[in-house]
Structure 1
Amino acid sequence: MTYESVYDAVFDQYEKEQSWNDNAHVGDKSSLNIADEALGRHADSDETGLRIRDFDTGETERYTFAELDAAANRVSNYLESHTDRGDRIGAMLPTLFELYAVVFGTIKAGRIYLPLAPMFGPDALNYRLKDSRASVLFTTTDGCEDLDGTISTLERVVTVDGGDDDAVDGETTVDGYDAVTDHSDAFDSVETHPNDPYTLTYTSGTTGAPKGVLSSHRGVVELHAYAEYVADVRPDDVYLVAASPSWSYGLNMGTVMSGVRGTAIGCYRGQFDPHTFFETLEEWDVDNAMIPPTALRQARAGGIDLESYDIDLRVLISAGESLDQETVAWCENGLGAPPQDAYGLTEGGMIVCNYAFEDWEVKPGSMGKPLPGTEVALLDDDGNEVDQGEVGEVAVKRDENAQGSYWGRPEATLDTFTGLWLRTGDLAREDEDGYYWYVSRADNVIISAGYRIGPGEVEDTLLNHPAVEEAAVVGADHDTRGNIVKAYVTLVDEYSPDDELGEEIQEFARSELSKHEYPREVAFLEALPKTASGKIKRSALED
């Protein structure tokens, strides 16, 4: 199989699979619930449906498809008793069996899953709960301590490690997880239209707070080509994705598409440790893995000897940012497969990728070629395609049936999800062989360890520190993370710049934000560079 042999065929396949009548009503042939596709159809299976490696104990937990489906049904019944269809249901949990039960149970019940990473601090957590107007949060007792008791829409909190009525302020009801497990393990999934949303994922932008992106049930069709030709996920694979369903890739490819393809979900819990991770690949006899570029760079820089492990991957996906030639060769020699870079974004899905074809050449550092079924162009500021070899903004041609929107932001939705092209904000060039090469962001979004970080959210938090008068955040080069967040601040009169204050400001931001987005460097300036109109010149700070 070659890239050329499948590209045109996928367009024909999409026309058949996406030919739902958008005016149809729930209950007819247009009904599609991705939780049924991914889990419900395996409900009677005693095959392994979920593997979790605990990095603290070294133990592997295994659950069958039937056990996971029963647990998801209990969550669905709990939500049916306390919420309405379309309610947003948040989960801020480590990688536990209960997290996957909440994901599938929420979607089965026709509610909208709100991913919340356990690394979130109070600012990041409460902003998303307030903006989404979530009605239920599944978390731990520790997670309750970060909650703002003024969130009027949050009706219930479920703690998986035991309920505590004193852990949450306000009128919110707090239940232990036994309130879920007391429900029946039988549930008929709610019939949903392919365009109904199943998740609300927050993505960082260039200014202001993150925006929520609604994704629809039809996503299982839109991800088909990626799962088939890039990740090449097979039912008999031992599959491991080093990302939990708190993040888009872990939710869509690591969780939903695992079940759709008929293979077990594989993930880990705890602080990433390269030795334990590669031991897991060996002990599980993993065939197919997704490993973030930062993890691979850190492992190589840390002197990990891959020859000491017996690992032979058929497929290795490394999404989020490009890898250098030395790391690519290190992986190919020690893991059995070269890392296949895959480029996508929450708003547009997977767009430009490398492939698992036997004759496919991975060019180290290249994004690859457009995903079959997807039309990609590089555009200039006026919307015209640039010549081959020139730098342009990556844009994906919009499917006329696709439904995309930002939660509660109609103007931003019109800007992004209308017109012929969805513009990504990423700059790239195309070489003579049709491979795309990432150049940079067209805006100020920082990509660090694969995470997209909007400067606005970090700056807003920094301004809450009593010493900070003004703040500007940019990306700074880093050997393993690609970029790190660097903050430039000016101080109010009664404070003086020194290392101790820099560390205090850094720790303040770390406690309030996600653990991946706090500034790892803080620099003091007497004044921030600004334009004539008073806007901060981040380009000057980057230079």
Structure 2
Amino acid sequence: MKLQESIPNCTTEDQYQSLYQDFYWEVPEHLNIADVCCRRWADETKRTAIFYEDSAGNCSKTSYAELYKKSNQLSNLLRQQGVQRGDVVACILPQRPEMAITIMACLQLGAIIMPLSFLFGSEALAYRLGHSEATTLILDQSGVDAYMQIADRCTYLKTVIGVDCRQVPKNFAALEWETYVADMSSNFKREKTRATDPAILIYTSGTTGDPKGALIPHSAILGNLTGFVASQNWFPQEKDVFWSPADWAWTGGLMDALLPTLYFGKPIVVYQGRFSAETAFYLLQKYKVTNTFLFPTALKMMMKAFPEPRQHYKLKLRAIMSAGESVGEAVFNWCQAALRVTPNEMFGQTEVNYIVGNSNQRWPARAGSMGRPYPGHRVALINESGAEVPLGTIGEIAVNRNDVHGHPDPVFFMGYWKNDATTRNKYSGEWCRTGDLAIADADGYLWYQGRADDMFKAAGYRIGPSEIENCLIQHPAVANAAVVPKPDKDRGNLVKAYVVLCKGFIGNADLIKDLQAHVRGKLAPYEYPKEIEFIDALPMTTSGKIQRHILRRQESERGKLKAN
């Protein structure tokens, strides 16, 4: 059964069991992401691929025909510069049309695209460029400073291409995109790739050790689609327009926004600039955005800035997917009441993306729940030995190599780049371990309990930070919060909360007592934060996740200094 044929028309019934049991994968032997996301739409000259706008108000529109033509030109330039099938091409580009062009050009060439965040510092870039042995780098002004600090260490790089790089040092040696790409032919003979061939290399940042390069095959685009379609309330529909602030250098922006939108031949809104609640609502209104992926952090900012947004903006939103952290009841209820859209939470990671989630128009979304396994993915909660845990018990989320029919699941990554040992440790038999903990209820919904390394014990009780953080967010004074253990000689750990306040609130002893009472009145007595520290901003990843390990390490170091 083909993917599109397995998905029924809109209904309010809970059709989860039939959707899940009746779904079968159909993965062709040969597949290229650039073919299905760009080339097949290229003949439709009026079909819009990208609406672009930057913070200065500059706007443009790129059709699929233009995307294809420019991708062919870049492919020819890369081939002329010696890029071969299997080579790694790195790019440091924010959301902009050239990023989409670069991805398509590399993939149809048979090369491996390695997107790098423009927020990376020099050492983060040096490690990834060196470890991947990237032969080519494409960057714009946002990546120049960091690159120039380590340029002499990038011994594998043969070619650098600069996009709009107008303020550069004299020793910046790069081919100008505007000149060299435009001179190339728009006809290109693409490589024929298998579905199992490598396509994308994304380095994931763990809490310890060096980043790991997850190598993703072309087939992963299909593995992501059931979750994308479901979480976006059966995308695509006739007038659908997609937007997400998620950085395309990460799985969330690339595999949950850009590529699946292009796969279905729909337009995606691209904004080059800093995120703010005002900008988000401006884009949603101007481009009549129907579908979006917003991190819980973004939704919290929007909720605090505009409690009643429809009094200020005309919105066409029909679907919101959220991931990275738990949305929480307060934000969930605000989305339903103020945006008139039930958010569909989703769970996945770079190695196995879009495996669990909600689809409120097909099965009821439950506030705070990660949802159920998406069709095509066999998911279970397992213990340290790899055995499935009893119902109602915390276990590690794992996805099986095969679906419920015994057929291979195309969502899987190929392995970690030059790291076979870590790849093997990712698995317990046929189960791929995610490192994230959850509890399943009787209806098959999963409830996130945090990262395995985020859980801690305080006075003998097992504490998961997400529930406490979501409770704190419900307080009108709290913009964001992170909960970590504070070492304590009597209890092992104390529950400590780092809190970012909303504008107009002042952190003092009275507010601390009020916040503690707020949590104590809603959760178990042992869960309220014994200590609260106000902070201007939480440490966050570029993909919107709270970096609790930084705060944990800070508390541990403080404890050592106090002991000495």
In which range does the TM-score fall when normalised by the shorter chain? 0.7 to 0.9
CA shift for structure 1 position 144? 2.5
Are positions 1:268 and 2:271 aligned together?
Answer: yes
The CA deviation at 1:140 is 2.2
Shift of 1:57: 2.9
Secondary structure class of the residue paired with 2:131: helix
For 2:496, the equivalent position in structure 1 comes to none
In structure 2, the CA distance between the partners of 1:104 and 1:298, relative to structure 1 (3 Å rule), is: same
| Mapping for residues 149-160 of structure 1, pairs under 5 Å | 149-160=152-163
- Deviation per CA, 1:324-366: give whole Å up to 9, x if none: 21211211222221111000011111111001425x3221111
Q: Map of 1:52-201 to 2, 5 A cutoff?
A: 52-54=52-54, 56-82=55-81, 83-141=83-141, 143-147=143-147, 148=150, 149-162=152-165, 166=169, 173-177=173-177, 178-201=179-202
Q: Please give the alpha-carbon distance, in whole angstroms, between the structure 2 residues aligned to 1:166 and 1:206.
A: 35
AA at the equivalent of 2:199: Y
The alpha-carbon distance between structure 1 residues 484 and 57, as it changes in their structure 2 partners (threshold 3 A), is farther
Q: Which residue of 1 aligns with 2:235?
A: 233
Q: Greater CA deviation, 69-78 or 258-267?
A: 258-267
1:210-229, aligned counterparts within 5 Å?
210-229=211-230
Distance 1:36 1:305, change over 3 A: same
**Aligned-residue CA RMSD in angstroms?**
3.2
Partner of 2:380: 377
User: Is the 2:297–2:544 Cα contact (8 Å) retained in structure 1?
Assistant: no
Quote the offset at 1:388 in angstroms: 1.2
List alignment gaps of at least 5 residues for structure 2: 1-10, 403-407, 457-471, 488-534
Deviations 1:162-186 (A, max 9, x none): 47885557xxx52111222211122
Distance 1:429 1:269, change over 3 A: same
SS at match of 2:387: coil
1:9 pairs with 14, 18, 22, which one? 22
8 A Cα contact 2:33 2:107, kept in partner = yes
Contact 1:93 1:117 in 2 (8 A): yes
Q: Is the 8 A contact 2:94 2:272 kept in 1?
A: yes
Correspondence 1:473-484 to 2 at 5 A: 479-483=478-482
1:248 CA displacement = 0.8
Q: Distance in 2 between matches of 1:309 and 1:246?
A: 30
Whether the 8 Å contact between 1:332 and 1:339 is mirrored in structure 2 is yes
Larger mean Cα displacement after TM superposition, 98-107 or 222-231: 222-231
Counterpart Cα distance in 1 of 2:560 and 2:387: 33
Q: Which residue of 2 aligns with 1:439?
A: 449
Q: Which moved more, 1:192-201 or 1:478-487?
A: 478-487
Q: What's the secondary structure of 2:292's corresponding residue?
A: strand
- Partner of 1:387, secondary structure, is coil
Report the AA paired with residue 217 of structure 1. Answer: H
Q: State which of 244, 248, 253 in structure 2 corresponds to 1:245.
A: 248
Aligned pairs for 1:335-350 (under 5 A) are 335-350=339-354
Name the stretch that deviates more: 238-247 or 399-408: 399-408
Please, which of 421, 429, 435 is the counterpart of residue 419 of structure 1?
Answer: 429
Q: Which amino acid aligns with 1:334?
A: A
Alignment-mate amino acid for residue 361 of structure 2: F
CA deviations over 1:17-66 (Å, ceiling 9, x no partner)? 13x5xxxxxxxxx2211101100111122211111232x23454211111
More displaced, 193-202 or 276-285? 276-285
Secondary structure of the structure 2 residue equivalent to 1:223? helix
Counterparts of 1:201-212 in structure 2, within 5 Å, are 201-212=202-213
Number of the residue aligned with 1:455: none
Q: Distance in 1 between matches of 2:167 and 2:121?
A: 20
Say if 1:353 and 1:196 are closer, same or farther in 2 by CA, change over 3 A: same
Preserved contact between residue 245 and residue 251 of structure 1 (Cα < 8 Å) = yes
Q: 1:58 to 1:91 in 2, by over 3 A?
A: same
Counterparts in 2 of 1:291 and 1:117: CA distance versus 1, 3 Å: same
> What is the aligned partner in structure 2 of residue 301 from structure 1?
304
Describe the superposition over 1:427-464 as per-residue Cα deviations: whole angstroms up to 9, x where unpaired.
10012222110012112599xxxxxxxxxxxxxxxxxx
1:330 to 321, 329, 334: 334
> Using the alignment, how far apart are the partners of 1:76 and 1:279 within structure 2?
35
- Distance change >3 Å, CA 153–CA 163, structure 1 → 2: farther
**Distance in 2 separating the partners of 1:3 and 1:131:** 43
Residues 526 and 373 from structure 1, CA distance in 2 versus in 1: closer, same or farther, beyond 3 angstroms?
A: closer
The answer on whether the counterparts of 2:320 and 2:342 sit within 8 Å (CA) in structure 1 is: yes
Separation in structure 2 between the aligned mates of residue 152 and residue 57 of structure 1, nearest angstrom: 36
Q: In terms of mean alpha carbon deviation, does 137-146 or 92-101 score higher? A: 137-146
Offset from partner CA, 1:513-534 (integer Å, 9 cap, x none):
999888689959877659xxxx
The CA deviation at 1:141 is 4.1
CA distance in 2, matches of 1:249, 1:311: 23
State whether residues 93 and 142 of structure 2, in contact with CA within 8 Å, keep that contact through their aligned partners in structure 1: no
How far apart, CA to CA, are the structure 1 residues paired with 2:383 and 2:432? 13
Instruction: Check 1:421–1:110 CA distance in 2 against 1; reply closer, same or farther (3 A cut).
Output: same
SS at match of 1:102: helix
The answer as to whether partners of 1:316 and 1:338 remain within 8 angstroms in 2 is yes
Identity level (%):
32
Distance in 1 (CA, whole Å) between partners of 2:214 and 2:16 is: 31
Q: Distance in 1 between matches of 2:230 and 2:557?
A: 53
Aligned 8 A contact 1:342 1:354 in 2? yes
Are the aligned partners of 1:163 and 1:174 in contact in 2 as well (CA < 8 Å)? Answer: no
Give deviations 1:227-279, integer Å, cap 9, x for gaps.
33222221531111222321112112322211211211223210112112112
Code of the aligned partner of 1:88: V
Q: CA deviation at 1:187?
A: 1.4
Residue 220 of structure 1 and its aligned partner are, at CA, apart by: 2.2
Cα contact 2:220–2:413 (8 A) shared by 1: no
Q: Distance in 1 between matches of 2:392 and 2:484?
A: 30
Change in Cα spacing, 1:154 to 1:367, as seen in structure 2 (3 Å) is: same
Give me the whole-angstrom Cα distance separating, in 2, the residues matched to 1:124 and 1:485.
26
SS of 1:110's equivalent? coil
Contact 1:245-1:255 within 8 A present in 2 as well: yes
State the shift of 1:482 in Å: 4.9
Distance 1:520 1:176 in 2: 42
Give me the whole-angstrom Cα distance separating, in 1, the residues matched to 2:400 and 2:556: 43
Residue type at the aligned position of 2:98: E
Query: What is the alpha-carbon distance in structure 1 between the residues aligned to residue 117 and residue 483 of structure 2?
Result: 19
- Write the distance in 2 (CA, Å) between the matches of 1:398 and 1:524: 39
- Aligned equivalents of 1:440, 1:300: Cα separation in 2: 23
Asked if the contact 1:274–1:299 (Cα under 8 Å) also holds between the matched residues in 2, the reply is yes
516 and 270 in structure 1: CA distance in 2 versus 1, 3 angstrom threshold: farther
CA distance 1:515–1:486, shift in 2 (3 Å): farther
- Mapped to 1, the partners of 2:440 and 2:77 lie a distance apart of 51
